[in-house]
């Protein structure tokens, strides 16, 4: 008969294995909250035009930027100062565009962040203060008013013969710099049904989300309409309280599914391959042809007291080298790691790898979509 200590150790091992298996399974799933958005709950973009003052001579050149001069005159006239016809030479003012996102369900009196970007030829917005700027929505209504001191992420220093710039000193941010003045009405609790918009459209994922919701609620109230939309009818027990229903279902775990895809950025040479990328048996070889041309002209001079001219004689050297790699066989149905190892064994760089992947796709030997950015 085994000792109690041995049985405890065996039980602990079983529990530990179960926890590890649970952790592995949990890593493959995601919450509905992370897979889909609730249709109608969204941000709204706002934009406004304003003036930044208090700059240390790094603002707009008023003679070159007429809209800054006109805005400054109009602002001073509203303050009771008439400068029509006067010459203004200040360099401490800059015209800017102010942008921000109005959060969903934002109420009057709450604050939001705004970004301030120079519009004219201002060199630096450091130390500036944004004057009262209305922020408009797409419908032309004012939803917020921005004002405050700018925080700049870059700087610029210049001397007589050299200058240095780090970051972008013509763009700044004001944390909580706008006060919301108008609310956007959205009666979520009175909706008869709610639609979930998947962040990554997929038929299988949409079906799994609907099945998870139906299993949890015990009734068939969720239905996938298309790869990116799942419609959820509000059950009787949640009528008038859609928030409680969404709170219950957004924590459900679902295993997402995605189509095999290879994303290629030609400009930077970045390649991203999904885990489900598979290839058929294919042989790959890669070679580089390099042509080098070097010029080293020589000067030919006549001897002393000789009747001749100094001439330049060309001296051109041309060399051709061809680096060839042996054929590498990529076997049928290999995993992503095996595919990467096989291609890396050729000793090629990302630029050549892009061409090889496109050639394998053209040969019909790769089971994935290639998206070129």
What confidence score (pLDDT) does residue 326 get?
Answer: 57
Q: Lowest mean pLDDT: which of 135-149, 191-205, 349-363?
A: 349-363
* pLDDT for 136 beyond 80: yes
Span 44-78, pLDDT tens digits: 999 999 999 999 999 999 888 999 999 999 999 88
What confidence score (pLDDT) does residue 15 get?
Answer: 36
What confidence score (pLDDT) does residue 4 get?
Answer: 44
Report d(CA 316, CA 295) in Å as an integer: 5
pTM of the predicted model as reported, rounded to 2 decimal places: 0.68
Which has more confidence, 230 or 272? Answer: 230
- Vertex 196 angle, CA 29 and 277, to 5°: 45
Characterize the bridge pairing of strands 155-158 and 163-166: antiparallel
Identify the bridge partners of residue 171 per DSSP, sorted by sequence position: 117
* pLDDT for 343 beyond 80: no
Smallest CA-to-CA distance from 55 within 120, 127, 123 is with 127
Looking at the chain, the domain(s) classified CATH 3.30.70 span 187-254
Report d(CA 332, CA 280) in Å as an integer: 4
The CATH class that applies to domain 187-254 reads alpha beta
What confidence score (pLDDT) does residue 332 get?
Answer: 62
Which has more confidence, 325 or 13? Answer: 325
Report d(CA 210, CA 192) in Å as an integer: 17
Span 7-40, pLDDT tens digits: 433 433 433 344 333 443 444 789 999 999 998 8
Which distant-in-sequence residues (6+ apart) come within 8 Å of 249 by Cβ?
32, 212, 213, 216, 217, 232
Residue at token pair 């950015």: 373
């Amino acid at each position: 008969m085994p000792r109690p200590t041995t049985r405890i150790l065996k039980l602990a091992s079983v529990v530990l294995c179960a926890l590890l298996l649970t952790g592995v399974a949990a890593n493959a799933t995601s919450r509905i909250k992370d897979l889909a958005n609730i249709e109608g709950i969204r941000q709204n973009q706002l934009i406004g035009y304003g003036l930044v003052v208090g700059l240390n001579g790094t603002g707009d050149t008023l003679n070159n930027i007429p809209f800054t001069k006109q805005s400054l005159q109009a602002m001073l006239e509203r303050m009771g100062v008439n400068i029509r016809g006067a010459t203004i030479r200040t360099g401490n003012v800059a015209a800017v565009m102010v942008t921000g996102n109005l959060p969903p369900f934002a109420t009057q009196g709450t604050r939001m962040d705004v970004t301030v970007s120079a519009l004219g030829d201002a060199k630096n917005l450091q130390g500036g203060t944004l004057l009262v700027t209305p922020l408009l929505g797409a419908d032309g209504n004012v939803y917020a008013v921005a004002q405050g001191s700018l925080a700049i992420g870059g700087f610029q220093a210049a001397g007589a013969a050299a200058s240095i710039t780090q970051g972008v000193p013509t763009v700044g941010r004001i944390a909580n710099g706008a006060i919301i003045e108008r609310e956007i009405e959205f009666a979520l609790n009175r909706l008869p049904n709610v639609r979930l918009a998947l962040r990554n459209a997929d038929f299988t994922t949409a079906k799994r989300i609907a099945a998870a919701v139906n299993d949890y609620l015990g009734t068939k109230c969720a239905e996938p309409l298309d790869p990116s939309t799942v419609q959820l009818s509000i059950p009787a027990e949640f009528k008038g309280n859609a928030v409680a229903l969404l709170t219950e279902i957004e924590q459900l775990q679902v295993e997402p599914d995605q189509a095999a895809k290879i994303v290629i950025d030609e400009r930077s040479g970045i390649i991203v391959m999904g885990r489900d990328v598979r290839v058929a048996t294919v042989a790959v070889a890669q070679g580089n042809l390099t042509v080098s041309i070097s010029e080293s002209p020589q000067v030919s001079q006549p001897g002393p007291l000789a009747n001749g001219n100094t001439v330049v004689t060309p001296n051109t050297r041309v060399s051709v080298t061809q680096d060839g790699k042996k054929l590498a066989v990529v076997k049928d149905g290999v995993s992503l790691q095996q595919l990467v190892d096989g291609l890396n064994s050729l000793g090629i760089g990302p630029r050549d790898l892009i061409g090889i992947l496109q050639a394998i796709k053209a040969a019909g030997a790769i089971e994935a979509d290639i998206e070129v950015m």
